[in-house]
Amino acid sequence: MSKFLFNFVKTLTNREKAYFKRYINIHSKREDKNYLKLYEATEKMETYRKGNLEKIFAGTSIEKHFSSEISYLKDKILISLLNFNLNNSKKNKILKGILFIETLIDKGFRKEAMKKLKYTKKIAYQMEEFTWILKLIELEETILFKEGITGFKDTLKRLREERHKITDIIQNLNEIHILRQEIRELQFNERFVTDNFKKYKQLYANPLIEKEENCKSKKAKEHWHYIQVVKNYLIRDYPSGVLASVKYLQFVEQNQGMFLTNKKLPLLSNYIYLSALNKDKIQAQKGMEKLIDLPKEGKVDTVYYWYIIYTRQLEIAHHTNDKDLMDSYLEKNIDFLEKNMEQLGSVQIQYLFSLIVRSCIYMRKFEIGAVHVNRWLQQGILAVKQLLARLFSLIIHYELNWTQLIESEIILLKKLKKDFPRDKELIDCFYVFFNKCIKHPTQKKKHLSTFQQRLHVISQDKERNFDFEILDFYQWSLQLDKHPT
């Protein structure tokens, strides 16, 4: 049994499951449906274990053709989902309309095909499905040629002009979409940018980013709003980022027919996060209330929905110094990570680990932090998170007075200077402090004072203090006077 099949079946909603069973009863005359038995056995499983399904059907006719039956089941589920969702949205109605038009053309019913085409094109324009509009223009030309009548030169000219117009809109949409991807890549690779950062200056100078009027479609405007949110985050202008998030959310709500409910999940996530970074608990909780109410508006990705709720609550707690909120959500995040590891992406897993470990440092729950930082290291750390994980690990092991671990870790920390040149001063600061504490443990107080002074200088420097947005290392160092290891 493949892990994919197990996860695939578990994602089906109750309505989709009911439709699947009705679908196979209608479309299959076989009384002994092996793939249905496989489906029912998979549905009953609570957790995935390799070889479980094979054991259940050992010695049966299913065992002989196990792989082909599994493949057949996957295809049947996909076909039923396709039929189930074909009428679930206007976007799917366009696809269905194109299939109908092609069938009518093939059968020679060109007038009916044209009637259906005009209706489908109207929906395609509403939804801004431009590539499908090009397909509909092509089908309209096919109908005209097959009619074999004269006098449709003007119509063909109109279609040619329409094609040029749509192509221009697609080009504009693609250019803004590429800018969105570039700024997203900047966010994940560089985290924050400073005044000396050349790449961000070139990107921000692009006229397409400057004005919303440069967008030739609502879909392009959606990309534009996203760019405004992220660009303010990258330069750490959080008040402007919150305002950009509000405008983005308003834009999506005003054009709700174009976007699925799931579209609001990352929007609200960014709105809450930027509000937390801005230390505005009222705005953050306002966003959280909207997020909690979101399932009332339509279907949402359940795992992603709870991932945002749990992680953003920890962000609010950290940046607004709410220890009670952090305490109540720390265990929830640990439990969520444990139960959903298979369905989460690698970036999401890394983020959860970083939040859990940071919260343990903040709440001084260092034993729990040690467990999870070690799990994080064993999981394999993404390149962009290497420094953060190493610093968190050093902090926890120092607080627990695990000196032998610190000796090996500071060597690894020093090696990170090549990969993190922008963090050179912070790496040096930590390395010198821990190294001196190991070599001259009786002078810890003196070393700590120098360490605090160096951290304070870095924290005040806009070109170097971006790591302090994740954890205020200077404030943590001040706690060492109150809580000696």
Confidence of residue 147 (pLDDT cuts 50, 70, 90): low
Confidence of residue 195 (pLDDT cuts 50, 70, 90): confident
Confidence check: pLDDT of 70 > 90: no
- 103: enclosing H helix or E strand: helix 90-106
Confidence check: pLDDT of 222 > 90: yes
Confidence of residue 130 (pLDDT cuts 50, 70, 90): very high
pLDDT at 220: 96
52-74 average pLDDT score: 81
Confidence of residue 450 (pLDDT cuts 50, 70, 90): very high
pLDDT at 28: 65
Answer whether 142's CB lies under 8 Å from 134's CB: no
- Write out the two tokens for 186: 């900047």
pLDDT at 81: 86
Start-to-end CA distance of the chain, whole Å, equals 50
Confidence check: pLDDT of 199 > 90: no
Whole-angstrom distance, CA of residue 339 vs CA of residue 327: 19
Confidence of residue 460 (pLDDT cuts 50, 70, 90): very high
Quick one: which of 439, 431, 482 has its CA closest to 455?
Answer: 431
Task: State the chain's mean pLDDT as an integer.
Answer: 89
- Write out the two tokens for 24: 């196979």
92 CB-contact burial (10 Å; exposed 0-12 / middle 13-18 / buried 19+):
middle
Confidence check: pLDDT of 446 > 70: yes
Whole-angstrom distance, CA of residue 353 vs CA of residue 185: 21
Q: CB neighbours of 195 closer than 8 A, spacing ≥ 6?
A: 462, 463
Q: CB neighbours of 272 closer than 8 A, spacing ≥ 6?
A: 284, 287, 288, 291, 308, 312, 315, 316
- Write out the two tokens for 51: 């070889």
| DSSP class of 31 | S
Between 186 and 366, the more confident residue is: 366
pLDDT at 22: 84
Quick one: which of 475, 427, 477, 463 has its CA closest to 236?
Answer: 463
Confidence of residue 273 (pLDDT cuts 50, 70, 90): very high
- Kindly report the CA angle at 248 between 246 and 253, in degrees rounded to 5? 95
- Write out the two tokens for 448: 């700590």
pLDDT at 29: 59
Confidence check: pLDDT of 397 > 90: yes
- Write out the two tokens for 23: 């679908």
Whole-angstrom distance, CA of residue 477 vs CA of residue 472: 9
Whole-angstrom distance, CA of residue 163 vs CA of residue 138: 9
Between 199 and 305, the more confident residue is: 305
Confidence of residue 296 (pLDDT cuts 50, 70, 90): confident
Confidence check: pLDDT of 80 > 90: no
Of the chain, the percentage scoring pLDDT greater than 90 comes to 56
125-146 average pLDDT score: 92
Confidence of residue 148 (pLDDT cuts 50, 70, 90): low
Q: CB neighbours of 256 closer than 8 A, spacing ≥ 6?
A: none
Confidence check: pLDDT of 163 > 90: yes
* Torsion sign, CA atoms 14, 17, 19, 25: negative
Q: Output phi, psi for 99, to 5 deg.
A: -60, -40
pLDDT at 331: 96
